Structure 1
């Protein structure tokens, strides 16, 4: 395993490393219809992609092989494909380009830049000129110049290790899931609005304020829309600790719901939904969580989803001949989807 500590390191200004630092043309994702071209904005996850769009006519895309920087929080990502970049205004992304940049060293450089730019926030956003003056730490070769080959080799080795680890994980998961089974399509099912209070218990969480948080390994679920709603990993403990429950955001990304088959702590900006299911249903709760999230458009920051509203909320679920939620169908549907996804991932790993 290559080690970062085996190298000499040196500080460089960003404009010494990148030949071109610019912003995209003025554009907003709301101007586009759905498609397959990533729209890169100031997101802090999913490589900054906030949507996938169809370009307009002969519109030129922003070229691949660059690093994008969010001026809002400094998030940095290497972009391996052409994209539509968010432009116009102070929150438009900043694009870094270099003739030395490639797919292998791009992720390494993006992480190096992010160590510096992560200090930016909404009240102190990055600018193109400011980014140029920022300094980053890079490994150097015998000529005291950035060692791009080491960066590429290190990233390739790390990627191979991660791929091998995931390959083993995916194969083990497929063994647990068994074989996919044929199911009726949704339009042939009987559906019914079911009250949340009739399928489970709604419980409150408990906040852990920033001054109280201790770094640790236990997921602390807040009210985000990504990463299963997990905001932090903490060493705290309190009565909100639970396992096998659905979190439903009452604040923040109101209405987003995630199933947590692992032990976690839950903040008061979400509610816990504990379904009345026996242990044989390990995957059906994922289906229920997705259907709860379908109702999020009925709520907003000014119309929160508190305990009483969540109890009274009705979600559409497939039902059996007795008009009861068909958890057997939901269980197998989710298993089929997971089997499909794992096989897709394995096929993808075989192509890289």
Structure 2
């Protein structure tokens, strides 16, 4: 059994330098987004100083290697955002990126070190005139577990990270297996191209409920999801202890402000900001799979709306939706439900197959 973090001996060490565990340098690419070369093949990670998606902004053409590149097996650091991520594959970067390497830096050791580096950078640096520049980073010290001789204990770090990963993967596997059992078997249904489709005003399909403004100063700490007009995190922008008339569950929300025309399904009880609307089916019981089927429709309409042309309720009610229909020409909710179930089953099985391949390797 591996020692706990509390039982392990730790020491404060210089992070970078001749006798330090890590080396840091400026990226070898540093490509401004407007200079990126575009073509049909998009297979190269373009890493920026974003704090999400492992710093990955998008995939770009291999032609961008002509600007330079960095090898995988390193940690990237955002100069002005104090972000740190492990990059397993060869990549190109945007501006203001530092690259950390080390002789003993494998994926497991890196995943152990990343939160330590982020914690130290957040405490010492900030956006503006005190960012994580190369000179400041070279002076950084970190607390690391050490061997009896006082050297960084890379074997311990790797084993600890591996145990954490194995525990999480086991948790994910059990979660997915339970959902596969719940969904049952794939059902043969017509493809989207084979179905008949018809146009319906949104007002014929949904009733629209309003969110309620909750100012930051009035938020009470708690565990209830608070849904904002964002395009990530399933719309959850925080957790509160407040209760108001917008409280709902098993419902679809759609942003009309902020990031307009983005929809998320919420099976849990939550409250909503006034920048989003809550949609419930008029003629069919709210259903997770049917609502997830609808969520993708709104994303396809997003290009029509912007901050200056908001997805307000009147426009929302007039918005036309192309839907699969049954023999009577009515929305085919049974088909939508099974289509979403089939999609989820395929994805769950794909994930389980990935876990099996990963375990064999």
TM-score normalized by structure 2?
Answer: 0.88
Question: Which residue of the partner structure matches residue 215 of structure 2?
Answer: 209
- Range with greater deviation from structure 2 (169-178 or 144-153): 144-153
Task: Tell me how far apart the structure 2 counterparts of residues 179 and 185 of structure 1 sit (CA, whole Å).
Answer: 17
Max Rg structure: 2
Cα 1:168–1:19, aligned 2, differ >3 Å: closer, same or farther? same
Task: Tell me how far apart the structure 2 counterparts of residues 258 and 288 of structure 1 sit (CA, whole Å).
Answer: 9
Q: Which of 47, 54, 73 matches 1:65? A: 73
Question: Which residue of the partner structure matches residue 46 of structure 2?
Answer: 39
Question: Which residue of the partner structure matches residue 166 of structure 1?
Answer: 172
Deviation at 1:217, TM superposition (A): 2.4
State the secondary structure of the residue aligned to 2:214: coil
Q: Which runs of 5+ in 2 are unaligned?
A: none
Question: Which residue of the partner structure matches residue 27 of structure 1?
Answer: 31
State the secondary structure of the residue aligned to 1:182: coil
**Is the 1:9–1:138 contact (alpha carbons within 8 Å) kept by the matching residues of 2?**
yes
Cα 1:204–1:152, aligned 2, differ >3 Å: closer, same or farther? same
Task: Tell me how far apart the structure 1 counterparts of residues 29 and 180 of structure 2 sit (CA, whole Å).
Answer: 45
Q: Which runs of 5+ in 1 are unaligned?
A: none
**Is the 1:29–1:51 contact (alpha carbons within 8 Å) kept by the matching residues of 2?**
no
Deviation at 1:122, TM superposition (A): 5.2
Cα 1:205–1:14, aligned 2, differ >3 Å: closer, same or farther? farther
Alignment coverage as a number of residue pairs = 348
Question: Which residue of the partner structure matches residue 250 of structure 2?
Answer: 244
Cα 1:238–1:117, aligned 2, differ >3 Å: closer, same or farther? farther
Task: Tell me how far apart the structure 1 counterparts of residues 22 and 167 of structure 2 sit (CA, whole Å).
Answer: 29
Q: Which portions of structure 1, spanning 4 or more consecutive aligned residues, are displaced by more than 6 angstroms?
A: none
State the secondary structure of the residue aligned to 2:218: coil
Which structure 2 residues correspond to residues 177-196 of structure 1 after superposition, within 5 A? 177-196=183-202
Question: Which residue of the partner structure matches residue 9 of structure 2?
Answer: 8
Cα 1:85–1:320, aligned 2, differ >3 Å: closer, same or farther? same
Deviation at 1:160, TM superposition (A): 0.7
Question: Which residue of the partner structure matches residue 283 of structure 1?
Answer: 289
Question: Which residue of the partner structure matches residue 102 of structure 1?
Answer: 106
**Is the 2:212–2:274 contact (alpha carbons within 8 Å) kept by the matching residues of 1?**
yes
TM-score normalized by structure 1?
Answer: 0.90
Task: Tell me how far apart the structure 2 counterparts of residues 285 and 53 of structure 1 sit (CA, whole Å).
Answer: 33
CA RMSD of aligned residues (A): 2.3
Answering whether residue 89 of structure 2 is matched by residue 85 of structure 1, we say no
**Is the 2:27–2:70 contact (alpha carbons within 8 Å) kept by the matching residues of 1?**
no
**Is the 1:245–1:261 contact (alpha carbons within 8 Å) kept by the matching residues of 2?**
yes
TM-superposition CA deviations, 1:277-320 (whole Å, max 9, x none): 54483301001011111111111223222222222222322222
Question: Which residue of the partner structure matches residue 229 of structure 1?
Answer: 235
Cα 1:233–1:25, aligned 2, differ >3 Å: closer, same or farther? same
Cα 1:121–1:57, aligned 2, differ >3 Å: closer, same or farther? closer
- Range with greater deviation from structure 2 (308-317 or 336-345): 308-317
**Is the 2:255–2:261 contact (alpha carbons within 8 Å) kept by the matching residues of 1?**
yes
